[in-house]
Amino acid sequence: MTDQPLVMVLNGPNLNLLGSREPQIYGHATMDDIAASLEEQAAGLGLAVDIRQSNHEGHLVDWLQEAGARGALAVILNAGALTHTSIAIHDAIKAISVPVIEVHLSNPHARDEFRHTSFVARAAKGTISGFGAASYRLALDAAGALRQ
C-alpha cells in the first residue's frame, strides 16, 4: 500500500491491440509502452497509478465504482468505442465523486461522424484527445494538478 494519491487508468475494448491495430490512426506504442511511460511519470509526480484494460463494459463500470470506493484522486479513462455507446459507463462516472479525465489517442471529431458523440464526455471533468500516446501523459499531468 502506498500513501501516494492514486490515479486509475482504465482502458476499454481493443486497446490491448495498440501497436498493431491501425497504427496510422493509433500509433505504434503498445499498451505496455504507455503503461511504462505513465508509471515513470507518476513516480516523478508523486502519484501511484493502477493501469487496467478490458474488452468488457461491465469491468469498466466495476473499476469506476472501485475508484470511488478507494478514494482515487482521478480516473483516466479511454473507453474506446464504448465512449460512443455506453450509457452504463456514463452513469458509473456520474455515480462517483472521483473526477474522470477522458482520453483518446486520435481526435474523434476528425473521424467518422458516429465518433463525434461521447457519453463519457458528458460526465467527465475534461477530455484530452488527438495527441497519440502523449494524450495519456497530458491526462496524468491534469490529474496531478487536481491535488492543488
Query: Can you tell me the mean pLDDT for 11-18?
Result: 88
74: domain CATH number? 3.40.50.9100
CA distance 6 to 59: 19
- At residue 77, φ and ψ (nearest 5 deg) are -125, 120
For the chain, the domain total comes to 1
Instruction: Say whether 37 sits in a helix, a strand or coil.
Output: helix
Share in percent of the chain as helix, strand, coil (round to 5): 45, 20, 35
User: How would you list the strands of the sheet with 74-78, edge to edge?
Assistant: 48-53, 6-11, 74-78, 100-104, 126-129
Residue 47 maps to a domain: yes
Provide the annotated active-site residues: 26, 104
**Per residue in 67-76, pLDDT tens?**
999 999 999 9
Domain hosting 13: range is 6-145
Distance from C-alpha of 81 to C-alpha of 17, rounded to nearest angstrom: 13
1 within domain boundaries: no
pTM: 0.90
For 105-144, what is each residue's pLDDT tens digit? 977 665 667 565 778 888 999 999 999 999 999 999 999 9
